[in-house]
Amino acid sequence: MKAKQTFSILAQSALSSDEWKVLGLLYQPLMGTLAFSMYHTFYHLLNQKNYQSEVFTHQFLSDMLNEKYDKLKEAKEKLEALNLLSTFQDQEHFIYKLKTPLTPRGFFKDTVLGQFLQTEVGGKMFDQLTNLFKVQKVELENYQEITKNFDDVFNFVASNDYVDTAMYLGKRSNTGVKIQEQINYDTFVERLPDRVKKPILIRHDTKEAVQKLIFIYQLSMDEMAEIYLNTVQPNGNIDLGQLNFKAQQYYIDKKSDIPVVQEKKELNGNGQLLHYLKTQSPLRIVEVYAKGDYQLMATETVMQLMDRNQVEVGVINALLLHILKHKEGELPHITYLEKVLETWLKKGIRTTEDAYNTVLNNQVPEQTTKSGSKQVKKDNNTPEWVNDYLKELKEKEEREGA
């Protein structure tokens, strides 16, 4: 770190009180008070409207934390090692991307962090910390349940009208966006060495995770096999969260090594655009239409959108195109995007065709230039409700940012 070097900060969302508790009681004994203070300072330098910061100097950080640069560098590296911070450098400017901590269950189940904490604080304190996060089970054997059923309270006559439940937004306990098979999974397994061919490979969630990562990060089968081997544990088990993280890092490193060439596509006509929306990775949409400053945070945003919402991938792509147009190339945080998606679904937009015909028709943005400027087509067929909810979101942002 040098005094005149500059940095800015990115994050995905606000931290809950439970997440701060995990940071303070479980991570802080591992990283020390300075690293904890650095994370805390970075977080509160963020604009809570878009979870991005202004540009600061390392001199500012040194003065704020009252520490020398070598100590700050050491604290930053501890945050990185604990997967709480990712660092990106472009000459003399740095981007620090804050990452959320594990849940208490995830922390204690993590064989590295849980055992490392026990080693650092000792068995007695480790038990005390563990107890702080335990919830006492309430025994109900001596109680009689007297909860009323629905038909005990309400008079209900069934209707023959059919209700399509697919139109409602829900963060279900499934795997989110469904995508087409990207590779022959059996061939992928055959390419792996025998030492990692464990039963976990044939589990449905493992198969789906591999297919989804290949699609999102546009990986080849060989690249996915390499990432899998770099993530798999010695006993053959695989942490799908770590697999996602390694694929994300591979994508970022690969992207930084390849000059970005903006593809110029003619997307006129239903057929061409619908095919584009249904087959492109959402990250490709962001690469082409978003400003460069927002592309580093795009990977996590896209994965969250696809994991948490059961819609067609074409709807996700249409959503990104639509929002990037109205935000002039700026990629909002996940809560904003999901608010828009929820409004779409309530209005009956459930398929890629719905999104195109109702919202995108005659609204496709031109590609962003390297300078960040962009030219957009004039809205001709935008429904009134689209502009209404965008206005409502803008007003909400302005109130929160005040």
What pLDDT score does 217 carry?
84
Average pLDDT over residues 169-178: 46
Question: Over the stretch 334-375, which tens digit does the pLDDT of each residue have?
Answer: 888 888 888 888 888 888 888 888 877 645 444 444 444 444
Percentage, residues of the chain above pLDDT 90: 21
Average pLDDT over residues 295-323: 80
**CA atoms within a 13 Å half-sphere pointing along the CA-CB vector of 158:** 2
Question: Over the stretch 2-30, which tens digit does the pLDDT of each residue have?
Answer: 889 999 999 878 888 889 999 999 999 99
**CA atoms within a 13 Å half-sphere pointing along the CA-CB vector of 275:** 8
Tell which residue, 198, 203, 207, has the closest CA to residue 232: 198
Average pLDDT along the chain:
78
d(CA 292, CA 311): 27
Question: Over the stretch 248-265, which tens digit does the pLDDT of each residue have?
Answer: 888 877 765 544 444 434
What pLDDT score does 42 carry?
95
CATH T-level topology, domain 6-104? Arc Repressor Mutant, subunit A (1.10.10)
Return the higher-pLDDT residue of 152 and 117.
Answer: 117
What pLDDT score does 270 carry?
59
Average pLDDT over residues 122-151: 80
Per DSSP, helices labelled H in 69-182 are 69-81, 104-109, 111-132, 150-153
d(CA 210, CA 123): 38
What is the reported pTM?
A: 0.48
- Residue 393 phi/psi, 5-degree rounding, is -65, -40
